[in-house]
Amino acid sequence: MFNSLKQTTTVGPGGKMELCSAELLEGTPVEVIILIIPTETDETELETTDYLWSTEANRQHLLEAIDNVEKRQNLITITSEEWHEKYRV
């Protein structure tokens, strides 16, 4: 008998997953650990977040920007027409 088994599966409706192995005898107690495989998008977002928070100057700038949004001060507002004109979209 073996001590570990590694399988990859996809989460189905309702969060259900199915694992099958002919080596596992019915009634055998097992412990399941689920490791979520990060997607490319997850990794890119994490790298971007890490970069943005990587220096004290960046952290300070971001915290000030968050504070400005929360207090609705020092905001620049443009219309969609101004946006399209400026960025030629």
What are the domain boundaries of the chain? 40-87
Q: How distant, in Å, are the alpha carbons of 7, 10, 22, 33 from that of 14?
A: 20, 12, 25, 18
| Model confidence at 68: pLDDT above 90 | yes
Q: How high is the pLDDT of residue 48? A: 82
Q: What is the pLDDT of residues 39-66, one digit of tens each?
A: 777 677 777 888 888 899 999 999 999 9
Report if pTM > 0.85: no
pLDDT at residue 73 in the model: 93
Average confidence (pLDDT) over 29-44:
82
